[in-house]
Amino acid sequence: MIKIKPDEIALLSKYIYGISGISIDKSKAYLLETRFSKILEEEGCSSYTDLYHKAKGDPRKRIEHKIIDAITTNETLFFRDGGPFELMRHKILPELIDARAAKSAGSPNLRIWSAAASTGQEVYSIAIIIRELLGPSKDYRLKLLGTDISDAAISQASYATYNKFEIERGLERSKLTKYFTSAGANWKINDEIRAMASFRKLNLMAPFTALGKWDIIFCRNVAIYFTLEDRKKLFNRLADVLEPDGYLVIGSTESLTGICPRFVPKRHLKSIFYQLK
Amino acid sequence: MHSLTILVVDDDPVTRNLLQKRLVKENYEIDLAENGVAAVRQLQKKRYDIVLTDLKMPGGVDGIGVLETAKEADIKTEVILITAHASVGNAIEAMKKGASDYLEKPINFDELLMRLQKVRNTKALIKNASDLREAMNVTEQTSAETIQHLELLCADFQARLERIQSILNDTALAPLERVTRALEI
Ligand SMILES: C[S@@+](CC[C@H](N)C(=O)[O-])C[C@H]1O[C@@H](n2cnc3c(N)ncnc32)[C@H](O)[C@@H]1O
């Protein structure tokens, strides 16, 4: 295996930060070797410097995409942490539906964004909750969007197919039989759930105001990879695109204290969500 | 590691008993089923780590049926198929349906033991991963509780601080009054 040199660690960390905002601590430099050795081989690179130049010199960004797929941690599971989904079912969705129904005469809009959707489990967990709570009714218009910086993650999310290890995690048997169909050794989300969601690629470091405003934003377990400065900027920009009475859900071990004073934490049952001041 | 339980399904009594003898010697726990129908009945009663089944069997249920039942009963059960050379194509189809391996007849026992060892290793790895995951969940849950507690506490202090600040800046009140009220918060 080709070894990475100290100056190459600096070079690549800076490059990765530039394309993704992901900040690689010096102590995590081993990650570069374990995650990039395959790309090095596939691209026939003689060194990490070589890889860097090839990636920068590629106008179609093919190598850049590979690097992003390799450096991102796509760890996720259906109904991760439980709490946020109970929160959706018992608090956020009922409150929001009431509030929107009171405001407009027609069927209310529900706009929900999973800002680091990874391979889609979070989005489909939300979709399942909505389906169970509201049924297939036409009484609301749903926009449920999942975005992620990783092409590989987004394409799996769109494909909506999971292997048994992904399925075993977090998914109750009753939900598996109800919302999935076995496809060989894998499971595919049923069309009715799949059709509720859409996915696209998005780097959270880039502007996202064009996506419009949101009633609910899930931004879980992604800011942890960013610097404190970038976290502050990100949550500030999320505050800009959240409706005044909208809801923000972050990862269960994340905190906004000292990060974005525009959000206030609120507790419901065993979970916390955030609203604008 | 505890010994793995295997359900051996074969309509040929000679193969069945031979398999049982050899596998018990290797410290596997063996149950036998004489055809697919019996296997299905057995799979609904008891969970197995591994099902070793002939692909072609008389009666309503063949190896594929056994595979499907096993996976339905417990997706963690690994299924290894035994097949005549002529039906290797079917065995490959079965692998697409979730079988973990197949063996050609006549059974080479060294090869079988190797395959079983592979399944055993995979299972050990999976157990390791799920233990790690469990440990991580506990840690994550505990830290989540701590963080959420602190988060609410901080927000509460912040709100009080802001109230104190606004009272102290309230020029409509006499300075002493401001201090007295601020202290009450
Ligand atoms: C650990 S997963 C979180 C998935 C899910 N939200 C959850 O909590 O289970 C983190 C995801 O963030 C994505 N990510 C990392 N940097 C990003 C960026 N700059 N913009 C958008 N997504 C990013 C990664 O590709 C990865 O899929």
The per-residue pLDDT for range A16-50, each reduced to its tens digit, is 999 999 999 888 888 898 899 999 999 999 999 99
Same domain for B99 and B45, yes or no, is: yes
Alpha helix (H) ranges present in chain A? 6-20, 30-42, 48-56, 62-71, 83-87, 93-103, 121-134, 151-159, 164-168, 173-179, 191-194, 228-241
Task: Answer yes or no: are the C-beta atoms of A180 and A167 closer than 8 Å.
Answer: yes
Same domain for B102 and B151, yes or no, is: no
Tell me the pLDDT of chain B averaged across its residues.
91
The three-point CA angle A55-A60-A64 to 5° equals: 35
**B158 in reach of chain A (CB within 8 A):** yes
Based on the structure, what is the number of domains in chain B? 2
Whole-model pTM: value is 0.84
Domain A83-276 in CATH 3.40.50.1370: no
B160: region left, alpha or beta (phi > 0 left; psi from -120 to 50 alpha): alpha
Q: Is residue B93 in a domain? A: yes
The HSE-up count of residue A179 (CA atoms within 13 Å, CB side) is 27
What is the 8-class DSSP label of residue B55?
S
Nearest Cα neighbor of A96 from A111, A82, A85 is: A111
Same domain for B62 and B153, yes or no, is: no
User: How far does residue A121's CA lie from ligand 1's centre (Å)?
Assistant: 12
Q: Is residue B125 in a domain? A: no
End position of a domain, from candidates B107, B136, B168? B107
More confident residue, A31 or A104: A31
Token representation of residue A197: 């969601």
Same domain for B96 and B153, yes or no, is: no
Token representation of residue A161: 């197919």
Confidence of residue A156 (pLDDT cuts 50, 70, 90): very high
Q: Where in chain A is the domain with CATH 1.10.155?
A: 6-71
Cβ contact, residue pair A252, B144, below 8 Å: yes
Nearest Cα neighbor of A247 from A80, A138, A94 is: A94
Token representation of residue B180: 């007295």
End position of a domain, from candidates B60, B83, B107? B107
Q: What is the ipTM of this complex?
A: 0.79
The CATH class of A6-71 is mainly alpha
Segment B40-51, tens digit of pLDDT: 999 999 999 999
Q: Where in chain A is the domain with CATH 3.40.50.150?
A: 83-276
Domain coverage including residue B159:
145-184
Amino acid at A141: R
Alpha carbon nearest to ligand 1 atom 24, residue: A72
Segment B32-71, tens digit of pLDDT: 999 999 999 999 999 999 999 999 998 899 999 999 999 8
Interface test with A, best of B147, B150, B153, B162 (most A CBs within 10 A): B147
Please compute the mean of the pLDDT values over residues B11-37 and round it to a whole number: 94
Q: How many CB atoms lie under 10 A from the CB of residue B103?
A: 17
Cβ contact, residue pair B133, A256, below 8 Å: no
Share of chain A above pLDDT 90, in %: 81
Q: Which CATH number does the domain housing residue B79 bear?
A: 3.40.50.2300
Strands A197-201 and A242-250: unpaired
